[in-house]
């Protein structure tokens, strides 16, 4: 694939010509997905990395690709002789381990490139552990990275001038990923982007405000090729636009599959005919980020816009519409907003139980770097640790306004334990009976993972990590004006590279 396909102005040389001219185009690439807690090997939700599957797919065929998913049990070996370039993916929770792995490979003489959401928002920090960092989506710059690696010029930051064109997105390369006995589902992405820009979320920052869609026929072709009956849509909101959804669901309906995804309440409960089409196409469960039952929190974070309902009564009514369509609801709830007092846990528990919500995903509010929430709390000096391995959604990493950090952490933990007690799972069964196997299997899996984490305290607290205080602060200072697309004059890149001590 040529970088020009993505409208990338950074490219001056493509891999094909590097191979033809110099005969040195073959790069042996190892993609790595780090386990945030490799010592216990229990974390990282056992889901295959879509990022690695896509990176493998956009790598031209003249290169050799291998993959290591540490969270699925692959053992990292730094001295592997058959590797030239190591590409490591990282969310914030994985950053610490990603840097350990990067340092290990570099000590063994390998070139390392870091990418994914965390290196994209903390590029100066990431550059201290890598030869190169890809800021934002890989598609616009990946051929340039490989061309530079092939000619020994890999260096500094790579950042596309435009978002990826999803009409060109290839199907993920799944052939490199051995079949394992995990719960992993085949995942497919139909669109990227989110217009809502909630203060605590990285999606809009990373993927832009505008939805970018893959052609329906490409999504359908990919699903057909998967030859599986169960699909997970990776989209932040699979109900992003009515016209696209109608076209997509109409085609999926012909395939005889079942699928799960994430959605807002607006185009689901607010549009029963579209919801009915989703049901007919095989939708069995939706993750709905209700975030909070307190309207002032929803207004303050901007997340009122996506669901368009704010009172517990309205939210409950919307959930009932989903239940009426036999959909198992997973409610995403975040605790620790400025208007959350210690009673918030009981109020939320009662609401979820009264509304027979099938699944709940409970997180302590986490100021991920690059988000508006991060900037606000950092400016208010309320962030208590910059040890990214604690940014796991379970640990309180800032001082909440109306409760203590301990109350936030313990209250969030108790929510999971209490919600997934056996009597409570069974009490919700009738409402969620339409998909009994799915409901019970996933409930007990969640119950197990909640209990497991409670019995392994160092899954929550992996010790202090002070070595990166300086670089974090440095990148944080820039975060307000940080953009993921390259500025026209590239002065921003030079500034980051200089700050990281890497001349460009
Ligand atoms: C699917 C998903 C998951 C899945 C699967 C993760 C997996 N194994 O791959 C599950 C459910 C397990 C999950 C869990 C969590 N997730 Co999650 N997840 C997502 C989601 C919805 C899609 C990610 C995805 O696969 N996209 C498709 C791929 C193709 O895109 P991509 O990963 O962005 O990769 C592209 C670029 O990033 C880049 N890239 C990525 N890696 C690399 C590497 C190299 C070398 C290069 C060059 C480029 C590159 O190129 C790719 C192609 O453009 C995103 C939301 C989003 N909009 O991104 C959240 C998201 C990544 N998750 C998030 C969070 C917070 C979590 C949790 C911490 C939540 C929690 N409290 O438990 C956990 C962490 C679990 C753990 N312990 O590791 C945040 C991360 C924020 C941050 N700064 O870290 C996101 C962004 C959600 C959000 N709205 O804020 N998640
Ligand atoms: S929380 Fe959901 S609606 Fe809000 S910005 Fe993130 S993806 Fe978009």
Question: What would the pLDDT profile of 3-40 be if each residue is shown by its tens digit?
Answer: 333 333 232 222 222 332 333 579 999 999 999 887 65
SS (H, E, C) 440-479: HHHHHHHHHHHHHHHHCHHHCCCCCCCCCHHHHHHHHHHH
- The full set of domain ranges for the chain reads 28-165+469-482+491-499, 185-450
| Spatial contact of 395 and 401, defined as CB atoms under 8 Å apart | no
> Quick check: CB of 260 below 6 Å from ligand 1?
no
- What is the whole-number distance in angstroms between the Cα of residue 473 and the centre of ligand 2? 26
The DSSP H or E segment spanning 86 is: strand 85-89
**Residue 167: exposed, middle, or buried by beta-carbon count in 10 A (0-12, 13-18, 19+)?**
exposed
Residue 368 in contact with ligand 1 by CB distance below 6 A:
yes
* Pocket lining: 118 vs ligand 1, CB cutoff 6 Å: yes
Nearest CA to ligand 1 atom 56: 203
Q: Which ligand is nearest to the CA of 169?
A: 1
CA of 91 to the centre of ligand 1 (A): 6
What local confidence, expressed as pLDDT, does residue 132 receive?
98
Query: What are the residue ranges in the chain where pLDDT is below 50?
Result: 1-23, 42-44, 455-483, 487-504
Whether 117 lines ligand 1, by a CB cut-off of 6 Å, is yes
Q: Whose CA is nearest to atom 13 of ligand 1?
A: 45
Model confidence over 165-224: pLDDT tens digits?
999 999 899 888 777 655 567 899 999 999 999 999 999 999 999 999 999 999 999 999
Atom of ligand 1 nearest to the CA of 371: 83
Q: How far, in Å, from the CA of 503 to the mean position of ligand 1?
A: 30
Residues 316 and 353: beta-carbon distance below 8 Å: no
Distance from Cα 370 to the centre of ligand 1, integer Å: 15
Q: Looking at beta carbons, which pairs linking 61-66 to residues 24 or more positions away fall under 8 Å?
A: 62/15, 62/19, 62/25, 62/26, 63/15, 63/25, 63/26, 63/27, 63/28, 63/29, 63/146, 64/26, 64/27, 64/28, 64/29, 65/29, 65/31, 65/173, 65/176, 66/28, 66/29, 66/30, 66/31, 66/176
* Dist. CA 419–CA 424, nearest whole Å: 6
Report whether residue 129 contacts ligand 1, using a CB cutoff of 6 Å.
Answer: no
- pTM comes to 0.90
Q: Which atom of ligand 1 is nearest to the CA of 393?
A: 71
| CATH node for 185-450 | 3.80.30.20
28-165+469-482+491-499 maps to which CATH number? Answer: 3.40.50.280
Structure confidence at residue 177 (pLDDT): 78
| Ligand closest to CA 192 | 1
For ligand 1, whether the C-beta of 160 sits within 6 Å is no
Instruction: Tell me how far the alpha carbon of residue 420 lies from the centroid of ligand 2, in angstroms.
Output: 26
């Amino acid at each position: 694939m040529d970088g020009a396909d993505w409208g990338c102005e950074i490219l001056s040389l493509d891999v094909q010509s590097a191979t033809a001219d110099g005969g040195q185009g073959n790069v042996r690439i190892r993609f790595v997905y780090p386990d945030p807690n490799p010592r216990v090997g229990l974390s990282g939700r056992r889901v295959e990395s879509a990022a690695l599957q896509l990176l493998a797919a956009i790598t031209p065929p003249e290169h050799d690709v291998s993959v290591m998913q540490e969270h699925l049990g692959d053992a990292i070996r730094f001295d592997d002789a058959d590797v030239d370039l190591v590409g490591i993916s990282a969310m914030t929770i994985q950053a610490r381990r990603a840097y350990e792995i990067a340092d290990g490979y570099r000590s063994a003489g390998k070139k390392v490139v870091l990418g994914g959401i965390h290196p994209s928002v903390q590029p100066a920090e990431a550059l201290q552990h890598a030869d190169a960092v890809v800021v934002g989506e890989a598609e616009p710059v990946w051929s340039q990275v490989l061309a530079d690696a092939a000619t020994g010029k890999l260096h500094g930051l790579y950042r596309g001038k435009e978002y990826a064109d999803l009409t060109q997105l290839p199907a993920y390369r799944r052939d490199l990923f051995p079949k394992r006995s995990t719960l992993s589902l085949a995942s497919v992405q139909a669109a990227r982007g989110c217009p809502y820009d909630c203060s605590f979320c990285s999606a809009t920052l990373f993927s832009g405000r505008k939805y970018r869609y893959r052609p329906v026929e490409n999504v359908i072709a990919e699903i057909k090729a998967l030859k599986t009956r169960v699909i997970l849509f990776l989209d932040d909101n699979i109900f992003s636009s009515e016209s696209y959804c109608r076209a997509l669901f109409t085609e999926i309906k012909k395939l005889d599959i079942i699928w799960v995804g994430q959605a807002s309440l607006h185009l689901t409960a607010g549009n029963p005919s579209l919801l009915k089409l989703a049901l007919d196409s095989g939708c069995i469960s939706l993750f709905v980020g209700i975030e909070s039952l307190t309207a002032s929190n929803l207004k303050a974070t901007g997340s009122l816009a996506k669901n368009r309902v704010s009172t517990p009564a309205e939210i409950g009514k919307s959930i009932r519409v989903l239940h009426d369509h036999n959909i198992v609801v997973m409610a995403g709830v975040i605790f620790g907003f400025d208007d959350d007092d210690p009673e918030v846990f009981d109020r939320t528990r009662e609401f979820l139980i009264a509304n027979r919500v099938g699944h709940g995903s409970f997180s302590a509010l986490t100021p991920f770097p690059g988000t508006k929430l991060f900037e606000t709390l950092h400016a208010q000096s309320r962030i208590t640790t910059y040890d990214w391995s604690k940014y796991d959604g379970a640990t309180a990493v800032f001082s909440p306004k109306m409760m203590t950090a301990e109350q936030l952490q313990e209250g969030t933990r108790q929510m999971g334990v209490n919600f997934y007690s056996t009597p409570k799972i069974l009490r919700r069964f009738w409402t969620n009976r339409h998909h009994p196997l799915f409901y019970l299997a996933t409930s007990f899996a969640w119950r197990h993972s909640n209990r497991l984490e409670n019995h392994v305290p160092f899954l929550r607290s992996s010790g202090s990590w002070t070595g990166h205080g300086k670089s974090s602060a440095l990148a944080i200072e820039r975060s307000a004006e940080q953009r993921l697309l390259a500025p026209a004059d590239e002065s921003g890149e030079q500034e980051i590279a200089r700050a990281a001590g890497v001349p460009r």
